[in-house]
Amino acid sequence: MLFACPACDSRHDVTGLAAGQMVRCRCGAVTALATPSPQAGKLACPQCGAAVATSEPSCGHCAAPLLLKACPRCLSRVFHGHKHCSECGTELGVAAPAAPSGDRPCPRCDRALAAHHISDVVIDECVGCGGVFLDQVAIQRVIADRQQVRAEALLGALPKAAPAAIPPRDRMYIKCPVCRVVMNRRQLALGAGVIVDVCKAHGTFFDAGELPKTLEFISNGGLERAERRQLEALREAAKREQQNARYSHMMAARSSTSAHADAHRGGQGTAFIELLRALWR
């Protein structure tokens, strides 16, 4: 049975411990184990969605046969037929055996990445250079959800300082550990001061120290500030467009051919939307 620390959301295996027993988390919080809810230890039937005990050979509601297996990413228990792991969100059955985490080389230094289960995300860490690869599910949970407890659990688990042997940053362009296609270098958000390497299909690589910096940026409200700045820029652009529009009206009054100006304005608008899309994917 898994127990989530209410202070930091770290998961602990408390199988065999009685209700009421005290559990000390590595963050220092001490919590009494609650009486297990009737849902504890149960998983949703992949066929009908009913909560069923993982020890049952078939669902008591729809009689679907149940086959227990382990999530290839976080090793949590899942039923055969589940589309996503309920623990870490990994898509199951798609390319899972084709690319186990152990076979993913670090884009920076080529050492094998090691999967690390923290809170409800799985990250791929490199012991060689201290870089971290976050797949799309992890990025969604860490960057987009902005959940404070999860960020703190991650911060606590990540190495505090970059390892002694910092690899030469001689590789300007690095390859995605999953598909080996060259990743795109991108500014994370306005003001974050972090350049990450992104594979749109698979995930984002953070060099040593960049993920802690990013998490701190997010918990200090950096994303909201970046959004405000972006909004302001958007308003400025709209104002400029209005002025341009007034100007071209004036010009149109002078000459009858305003088609050129209109086409130009349209193009500018699209370019700006594209820029926003690129920054926020």
Binding site for Zn ion (CB under 5 A): 5, 7-8, 10, 25, 27, 29, 45, 47-48, 50, 59, 61-62, 64, 71, 73-74, 76, 85, 87-88, 90, 106, 108-109, 126, 128-129, 131, 176, 178-179, 199, 201-202
AA identity, residue 48: C
Least distance CB 142 / Zn ion (angstroms): 15
Which residue number, 149 or 237, has a Cβ lying nearer to Zn ion?
149
**Left (φ > 0), alpha (ψ -120 to 50) or beta: where does 89 sit?**
left
Which residue number, 91 or 227, has a Cβ lying nearer to Zn ion?
91
Which residue number, 64 or 275, has a Cβ lying nearer to Zn ion?
64
Q: What is the dihedral of CA 252, 254, 260, 265, to 10 degrees?
A: -50
By CB atoms closer than 10 A (0-12, 13-18, 19+), residue 246 is exposed
Could you tell me the two tokens for 121? 């995300």
The three-class DSSP label of residue 192 is: coil
Which residue number, 48 or 238, has a Cβ lying nearer to Zn ion?
48
Least distance CB 94 / Zn ion (angstroms): 13
Least distance CB 16 / Zn ion (angstroms): 20
Least distance CB 58 / Zn ion (angstroms): 8
Residues in contact with 140: Cβ distance below 8 Å, sequence separation at least 6, in sequence order: 89
